[in-house]
Amino acid sequence: MKAFERARWRCRRGMLELDIVLQRFMDQYYRQLNNEEIMQFESLLSFADNDLWDLICARKTVMDDDLLPVLKLLQKS
């Protein structure tokens, strides 16, 4: 549970739209992720707010195809 709470805290961002999408993702998908997907999510969280938002909105393409499965879930949220 501690990992979930830590991830939820990292989802608090400076952009309201991003906060909403990330919180929805946490509620809908996070507990279903395997270890590899959790690492992908953590990698996505390391992006700057604007870059992450652009990826979620598909204004930019992700350079690392390994991040696509979790990014697609974020785009659904």
User: What local confidence, expressed as pLDDT, does residue 1 receive?
Assistant: 62
| Cα 2 to Cα 7, 9, 62, distances in angstroms | 9, 11, 29
Per-10-residue mean pLDDT of the chain, 77 residues long, equals 82 88 92 92 92 90 84 87
Q: What is the pTM of this model?
A: 0.82
Instruction: Name the amino acid, one letter, at 46.
Output: S
What is the DSSP secondary structure assignment for residue 29, as one 8-state letter?
A: T
Q: How far is CA 34 from the centre of its chain?
A: 14
User: What local confidence, expressed as pLDDT, does residue 15 receive?
Assistant: 85
